[in-house]
Every structure is written in structure tokens, then in C-alpha cells.
Amino acid sequence: MKTATIRTVSAAGTLAAASFISMSSALAEGPWDFSANIGAVSNYIWRGVTQTGDGAAIQGGLDVAHESGFYIGTWASNIDWDNGSQDVTTDVTGFVPLDENGNPMLDENGNWMVQGTGIGSTGGDPSPNYELDLYAGYDYAINDDFSIGVSGIYYAYPDGRDSDFAEVGLSGSYKWFTLGAAYTVYGENDKGLFDDGDWYFYGSAEFTLPYDFAFGVHGGYYDFRYDDFDYVDPAGFAKTDSYDYWHYGASISKEAGDFGTFGFHWDQNSGSQRVGYDPDPKFWVSWNKEF
């Protein structure tokens, strides 16, 4: 779940986790609950960054939960980090990062590693077309108001290159509020974004409204281990920018019984346009159904 837009550099919205509704009354009587979910969004936003080039996505997952608080599941979505382009010879406009000697960085094919805005790439495989997440965790309720959770998730991009990464996380919730952090323990993009050593901090609040409406606000900060972006400006001077960024947003949703849940969302980030972020506000709609 990432983008350049930050994900072309390496990686999906917040996990559409199911609430573990049992699939039958017989299963509901046991210690295990099995559930499935399917949804559609007009824009797949993950941690404030689009994963579909501002396009739509179809998403879904399967979950298993135990009454002790343990859960495991999987979730998938289509993605589009290059805005629909599959022509790997298309020129890309942007900036060329420099190595420690001040020379343009090259990929394994000897092409300049151009980063920034534009479509296509300067060589190599096309970006992945779908994301597959595998996750597990444990939630513990201390009392009716306070709970804590630990989790692990592996973000896989089976048809991409050097994009997979894994995180472990810790969170705490008090009534309507949640705070948490995720640490990247594995990444295939060596010494790039979404490599081991990255931190992500987040917070959110969820409020129940009359007539089955709900309102939520959220925000987060991505602190990348390898966050420096060295580039040459139009005047020929070497400068440095950062990949780190803040993001924030809000949503309102409506439960519609057998028709699922409908939502309207706003997301925005503070990332630098120079390194590929789009700081403009994103408004998108969603539908989700759990079984």
C-alpha cells in the first residue's frame, strides 16, 4: 500500500478490515468467526496518497477471528502507480537523484533513475497492477473503554518488482480515540522508501451519529529512514528535499442494512510536489459490504 506519487518509487487506504460477522448461526456459536467483505471506491487512498492514480478500485478480503482477540486475514485491491501507462519506454519528467559523489543515480539497466511527475518509466518492468495483503494480530480489551492491539502485515505486489514490505504495529484505543505506530521490518526496495527502518505514526477518532451515520477524522506522519531526495534544480544547483510527510482527512458514512455501508471521504497530504506527492485535497466515495 504505497506510491510516488510515492509508490512508483516503491508503496495501500487504510485496511478495509472486516468486523468479523459470522457466516452462519452455527459458526457464531463457536469460538471462531469467519467473515468476508467486498467494496468499491472511487479513489484508493492509503495514508494520504492515491494508489490508483485517482482512479477507482474494487477491493475485498477474508477474515478469521477468535473470541480470545486473535485474528488473521487477507485483503486485495487493484492499483495503478503509473496512471495507466504500461509503456516502459515513455519519458518521465521530474528530477534525477544524485549519489554520494554527485553523479546521477542509475538503475540496473544503466538508465537514469528519474523521479517526480509524469507517466511511464525510464526502463524495467511495469509497476504492479494489484496489491495482496496478509495480516494477523491480537486485540485485548482492558475494560469497556480501553483496549490495546498488536499486529503484523505483509504488503505483497506479486506482479511488481522490489515493492513488497512488511510492518509490525502497536495501537491503543480509548472510547472514540485511537493512537498507533507501525514499523517497517522488511522491504525489497533496498535503501529506498518502504525499506526496513521506516516509521508511521497515526491517530483517529470515530463518532456515532443519529440515523446510523458515523463521522471520523484521522491523521498520520510518515518518517522514512532514507528520506533525503537529492536533485539538481533548473539552475544546475544540487539541493535536497524530503520524502517525509503529514496527512489528514475526515469521513462520513451511512449504514444501509443489507445494502452495505456508503461513505464520503476527504484526504490530503503535505508532501513535496518535487518528490512526486500531490498535496491537493482528494474527495472520494466508497461502498462496503460484509458477509
Over residues 161-218, the pLDDT tens digits come to: 889 999 999 999 999 999 999 999 999 988 889 999 999 999 999 999 999 999 999 9
The answer to whether position 1 is within a domain reads no
Over residues 251-290, the pLDDT tens digits come to: 999 999 999 999 999 999 999 998 889 999 999 999 999 9
pLDDT of residue 237: 83
Q: Does residue 18 have a pLDDT over 80?
A: no
Residues paired with residue 197 on neighbouring β-strands, in sequence order: none
pLDDT of residue 274: 87
pTM, full prediction: 0.78
Residue type, 12: A
pLDDT of residue 126: 61
The answer to whether position 256 is within a domain reads yes
Which comes out higher in pLDDT, residue 107 or 4?
A: 107
pLDDT of residue 182: 98
| Mean pLDDT within 85-106 | 59
For the chain, how many structural domains are there in total?
A: 1
pLDDT of residue 162: 85
The answer to whether position 20 is within a domain reads no
Range of the domain at 204: 25-290
What's 82's domain CATH number? 2.40.160.40
Q: Does residue 86 have a pLDDT over 80?
A: no
Query: Looking at 41-45, 69-73, 89-93, 205-209, which range is the least confident one?
Result: 89-93
The answer to whether position 9 is within a domain reads no
The answer to whether position 102 is within a domain reads yes
The answer to whether position 155 is within a domain reads yes
The answer to whether position 3 is within a domain reads no
Q: Does residue 113 have a pLDDT over 90?
A: no
Q: Does residue 80 have a pLDDT over 70?
A: yes
The answer to whether position 7 is within a domain reads no
pLDDT of residue 234: 78
Alpha-carbon distance values, 287 to 32, 112, 142, 165, 252 (Å): 26, 41, 32, 27, 12
